[in-house]
Chains A and B, each alone.
Chain A
Amino acid sequence: MTTEKTYKVPTMADMAASGEEPEILFWVGCAGSFDDRYKRVTIAFVRILNHVGIKFAVLGPEEGCTGDPARRAGNEFLFQMQAMSNIQVLNGYNVKKIVTACPHCFNTLKNEYPELGGNYEVIHHSQFLQGLINEGRVRVKDGESFKGRRITFHDSCYLGRANKIYEAPREVLAALDADLVEMKRVRANGLCCGAGGGQYFKEPEPGKKDVNVERVEEALGTGADTIAVACPFCMTMMSDGVKNKNKEDSVRVYDISELIAQGQGL
């Protein structure tokens, strides 16, 4: 993107060196840092943060896996090693408020770190974006038009059932001028993409079908041209499912922050 604007990504180390404290720490997560597809989500979110002028920072190379997949797979030692190391870093920078685009990181930081000494206000980027939209700080009008497009939102388990966040991502999408269509299994009854609990990191057990295919069939059934997600694992699973159905030319999978960034022309 060759705009007049230059996006900046300050690290906590930079901030600390100049004696500053950010309003909020953006926890990028492993997928947001390494996965080529999800890096684009990280970048979209960072552009929005820059655009609205929020003083944020990231940990950069000091960030490490929250330990969520290890814990769910049964490796409590590894989880707690990760958690303790991260908490040392976070507490060392006196972090108070965290935003993340990964529901797994969100759930772990919010619900599981306090007992190990990490107490922060943790919000998911869907809630954060919802706040920006409600405050009028994000207006979707300068960029791409969504008129006539059909979007369906896929609930992530660790956002929805795990933490009862069902409306925030939907309200974010409502800011776009698109048709929102719902699948049959939504909100508390939402069907998993198939990646949670460490499944992302192994082949599925023998069965009739892959979970992501089952879910994508349901999403395609709505006639949506866009499947919106709010989780890096859901992103991969839904994208793979769309490919499995040979629909990658007509149906796209986007994170909610990418859609907002597109709407803003960022």
Chain B
Amino acid sequence: MEIFQQILFVAALAAVAWYITKRIQLISRAIKLGRAENRTDHADERLKTMLLVAFGQKKMFTNPLVGVMHFIIYAGFIIINLEILEIILDGVLGTHRLFAPYITPVYPFLINIFEILAFGVLAVCVVFLCRRFVAKVSRFQPERHREMARWPQTDAAIILTAEILLMIAFLTWNASDSVLRDRGVGHYGELQGIVPDFIISQYLKPLFAGFNDTGLVAYERIAWWLHILGILAFAVYVTYSKHLHIALGFPNVYFSDLQPKGEMQNMPEITKEVQLALGLPVTTEADGSQTNDNGEQPSQSAGAVDSPAEIGRFGAKDVQDLKWINLMNAYSCTECGRCTAACPANITGKKLSPRKIMMDTRDRLEEIQQGWKTNGPDYRDDKSLLNDYITAEELNACTTCQACVMACPININPLDIILQLRRYRVMEESQAPASWNAMFSNIENNMAPWKFSPSDRFNWADQVND
């Protein structure tokens, strides 16, 4: 019987490991669809940002109460995972509380911490469910935010309920185990005097007072199995869910933007065109590399000026045109909607929602993956992120105020995607609103966005002594 359980456990573990590896490969392939960009510079600063923003959850504390609640779940997630180590080893080796005899003095202390955290996670998950479905916090409501309709709302409910069930399984497993220990049943009794009752589960023991020994062992086994299988199933589920942020949040912050928020990324391929048009010496290669001090091209790219390498699209039409970090952003987004709640366009009823930009990007990536599955790995459909997912009306509503970028607890940048899509619409499709075209032509002809003569530019000085 014991060996049968062990075989089953190892098989479940192996199956989940195999499946999650496949998922990681698929997601990583999707992220790599994006354009290359070096995000490994300034390692010190990146590390510091990751420690503060990801590990320290700095931006979550904008609202201290929610910050503390989220921190409890986060700490629970990280620290309770230490207990998983013992559970897995017990499962593989067929042991029971393997570590208890070896670290007897600290064992109850550790389990008590796990139990306190488990209780905290359970309580916070209940509060979070209430915030979403009872108190109806506005940023979660599909009536107010169309991108939250159906699946995102279900996804959130599944995550919170699963975590509550896992914590209940963990706590009642400890309680039933304590009762078995008290009664001296089988190998459970061997830990009598070594393992005491635990801080939370001791109060759950009365629940099992009416169980006979067989029923109690059955419950203990079921709870143990439900807990660990639940965790494994949840790990698989996470790869399909917005909850992927628990893993990708960390690298996402590490690779996040370091430049000032107001700085728009340069397009070196255009710099070259403009320098040629203005008769200036060309100083930049299309790949962004600078020339050496003498203004000469590095030798490997000599001749590039005469025969420019094939220039891709200007701006972005689809996910392949975005940078890989934009795509990692999309997979890291947990749809909390702080960006959208801070967006001036969204607040005033425009269609733009920065959260939808991120969700659309991920949905588009998953549509492409679906295409790979059914039609082979080189399959390209004729859809695109622009138009099929994100409309001109949304893009045109953005004030580039960076409130969304500032609001994101894990440094996701929806604005960067919006601006790349705008570049495509304007430079590849000439699809700017008419008044923008007028502004462009004024700048081009009058050196100002309005129709004034450049020679009148200094007329204001005549009034300085009025």
Point out residues on A near B: beta carbons under 8 Å: 1, 6-7, 9, 11, 28, 30, 32-34, 39, 42-43, 46-47, 58, 60-61, 63-65, 67, 69-78, 80-82, 84-85, 88, 107, 111-112, 115-117, 157-158, 161-164, 188-192, 194-199, 201-211, 213-215
Contacts and interface: CB of A to CB of B under 8 A. Distances in A.
Nearest to B278: A84
A9 B457 contact: no
A81 B405 CA distance: 28
B283 interface: yes
Nearest to A156: B401
Interface in B428-466: 432-433, 435-436, 438-440, 443-444, 447-450, 452, 454-461, 463-466
B393 A205 contact: yes
B454 A61 contact: yes
Contacts of A215: 344
27 contacts: A34-B456, A42-B460, A60-B461, A61-B457, A65-B448, A73-B440, A74-B422, A74-B426, A76-B270, A77-B270, A117-B283, A161-B261, A161-B402, A162-B263, A163-B262, A192-B403, A197-B401, A201-B438, A201-B449, A205-B352, A205-B396, A205-B397, A207-B345, A211-B344, A211-B345, A213-B348, A214-B347
B432 to A, nearest CB: 6
Given A116-B271, A211-B344, A202 B436 contact: yes
Given A75-B432, A112-B266, 14 more contacts: A1-B465, A1-B466, A7-B465, A34-B460, A58-B461, A69-B449, A74-B315, A77-B427, A80-B270, A80-B271, A157-B401, A163-B262, A202-B433, A204-B397
A194 B399 CA distance: 6
B419 interface: yes
Contacts of B273: 77
Contact of B350 (A67, A202, A206): A206
Identify the interface centre among B422, B435, B443: most chain A CB within 10 Å of its CB: B443
B460 A61 contact: no
A211 B262 contact: no
Interface residues of B, number: 72
A34 B457 contact: yes
A78 B398 CA distance: 20
Contacts of B134: none
Contacts of A64: 447-448, 454
A65 B443 contact: yes
A163 to B, nearest CB: 6
B376 interface: no
B400 interface: yes
Given A161-B261, A195-B399, A73 B432 contact: yes
A109 B454 CA distance: 20
Contacts of B463: 39, 43
B450 A75 contact: no
Contacts, number: 222
A237 to B, nearest CB: 10
B362 to A, nearest CB: 23
Nearest to B400: A197
A39 B449 CA distance: 16
A83 to B, nearest CB: 8
B450 A30 contact: yes
Contacts of B315: 74, 76
Closest 6 CB pairs of A and B: A162-B262, A208-B349, A197-B400, A74-B426, A64-B447, A74-B422
Identify the interface centre among A32, A163, A198, A210: most chain B CB within 10 Å of its CB: A198
Given A78-B444, A162-B262, A69 B439 contact: yes
B443 A161 contact: no
Contacts of A161: 261-262, 401-403, 405-406
Contacts of A164: 260
Given A84-B280, A197-B398, A74 B425 contact: yes
B72 to A, nearest CB: 25
Contacts of B274: 77, 80-81, 84
Interface string B336-349: 00000010110111
